[in-house]
Amino acid sequence: MNERANPGIAYLIECAQETKIESRLFAIYEALAEAGGLIPQEFLIKVARETTAGPKLQLLIRLIGRASRAQVY
């Protein structure tokens, strides 16, 4: 991961990599999408590429779209 990443985004990605509880994962994915920016997009795309479940993949695609539209200041 990029060492210049926002510390909050880095923490969210770390949490996502450590948890296996679906409800927590999607709360983290939603927070990443809200944060927006290149790093959250790249992480969500990586997760989507590893996902085969239809409904989960659809949600990830929507979150990637949200992350790509989020304003980053």
pLDDT in tens, 1-30: 444 668 999 999 999 999 999 999 999 999
* Cα 59 to Cα 1: distance, rounded to the nearest angstrom: 23
Range of the domain at 17: 7-69
| pTM, rounded to two decimals | 0.86
Asked if residues 52 and 22 have their Cβ atoms less than 8 Å apart, the reply is no
Residue 2 in any domain: the answer is no
Percentage of residues in the chain with pLDDT exceeding 70? 89
Q: Which band of pLDDT confidence, cut at 50, 70 and 90, is reported for residue 43?
A: very high
Residue 1 in any domain: the answer is no
Q: How many domains does the chain have?
A: 1
